[in-house]
Structure 1
């Protein structure tokens, strides 16, 4: 097997999904790939660069499928976009923590903000400044709320709860209410 960026990202994400981000070390990734740890640094100069690439991989379905968001109103399309990002984060153990750490990469942060801003831009009278502020606020809310939800789930599992019953039943409701509040505020006709 040839060592590539993609094989390193895949192995790293497998380890993070199985053991959590804290146990995804460069040494462990190298061991899983059967290479010396130094070989990874040829493809990624640091663990942070690897985390940024993993965050990009987690968000790829959102960024690649941004044009296919449907809904009758700009609010509905934005809710769909926010739900998709939340789902992508929840699909991976520590997904919100990984992507939060990856947001130090300006390219990923800009791409996610632009994707949310594009959903906000369809058929409303928001200025570009309001769309950008709204997109940034929504991104921070999505990351924070999903990180909280995953942390509560992990705590319940650590306390011995069944993983199938450990997720928070009100997580989706709380999430949707928070998104709706931000969107309602954006729809209010006033200057900030």
Structure 2
């Protein structure tokens, strides 16, 4: 006997499902975000969601795309910016967008964008870099390294502070220093690792940009 597909719900469209999923993400985190929980929030049966998404990864791909769409709408990249300013603006913008959602970096990491919206900004960025003396390969390496730095940084940041103003249990810097008293440098380093993420992120971006300029000999 052929398996019947679930009936399409007239209540649902893909953007509605994704919007609900992003809202629930802040409440449940990625581990608690299930199709069943989303369906309950939408007051439909879970099988209705399979008309739009075959599995959770497809949903995550669309969530990451929507996160990017919202970030692009808020992007403030000045037309006259050079490559340094472009890296700073995109790194800062991506971090801010990811921090807007609990586990935002985990959702973004490894997801595949749907559509080609992201290619618009990519083309502009690669054009800017090649016009300023980078080869295409160098432009890709510079931008992707900055992207990966930002994703990795925010992943670790959200491991300590899932949302701004929250702090996970077990990351008390003073308690850590007491436990590691026999290792004075490591104990003192806790404040540099687990606090003041804004400053640390900016310093990391500056290190990257300085290294890119030195490596590729660009102004």
TM-score by length of 1: 0.81
Counterpart CA distance in 1 for 2:141 and 2:46 is 41
Counterpart CA distance in 2 for 1:106 and 1:7 is 16
**Matched residue, 1:130:** 138
- Offset at residue 81 of structure 1 (A): 1.4
CA contact under 8 A between 1:138 and 1:182: conserved in structure 2? yes
**Matched residue, 1:164:** none
**Matched residue, 2:167:** 157
- CA radius of gyration, larger in: 2
**Matched residue, 1:181:** 207
Partner of residue 17 from structure 2, selected from 4, 8, 11:
8
Counterpart CA distance in 1 for 2:168 and 2:18 is 27
Number of residue pairs matched? 183
TM-score by length of 2: 0.72
Q: Residue 45 and residue 23 in structure 1: after superposition, are their counterparts in 2 closer, same or farther (change >3 A)?
A: same
Q: Residue 170 and residue 16 in structure 1: after superposition, are their counterparts in 2 closer, same or farther (change >3 A)?
A: same
- Offset at residue 117 of structure 1 (A): 3.9
- Secondary structure, in 3 states, of the residue corresponding to 2:27? helix
- What is the alpha-carbon root mean square deviation over aligned residues? 3.1
Structure 2 stretches lacking a partner, 5+ long: 1-9, 172-193
- Secondary structure, in 3 states, of the residue corresponding to 1:130? helix
Q: Report which of the two has the higher share of helix.
A: 1
Structure 1 stretches lacking a partner, 5+ long: 162-167
Say whether residues 1:46 and 2:36 are aligned partners: no
Counterpart CA distance in 2 for 1:150 and 1:119 is 33
CA contact under 8 A between 2:130 and 2:136: conserved in structure 1? no
- Offset at residue 114 of structure 1 (A): 2.1
Q: Which moved more, 1:85-94 or 1:55-64?
A: 55-64
- Secondary structure, in 3 states, of the residue corresponding to 1:98? helix
**Matched residue, 2:71:** 62
Counterpart CA distance in 1 for 2:127 and 2:87 is 5
Q: Residue 119 and residue 81 in structure 1: after superposition, are their counterparts in 2 closer, same or farther (change >3 A)?
A: farther
- Offset at residue 42 of structure 1 (A): 0.5
- Offset at residue 61 of structure 1 (A): 3.0
Q: Residue 72 and residue 37 in structure 1: after superposition, are their counterparts in 2 closer, same or farther (change >3 A)?
A: closer
CA contact under 8 A between 2:126 and 2:136: conserved in structure 1? no
CA contact under 8 A between 1:100 and 1:143: conserved in structure 2? yes
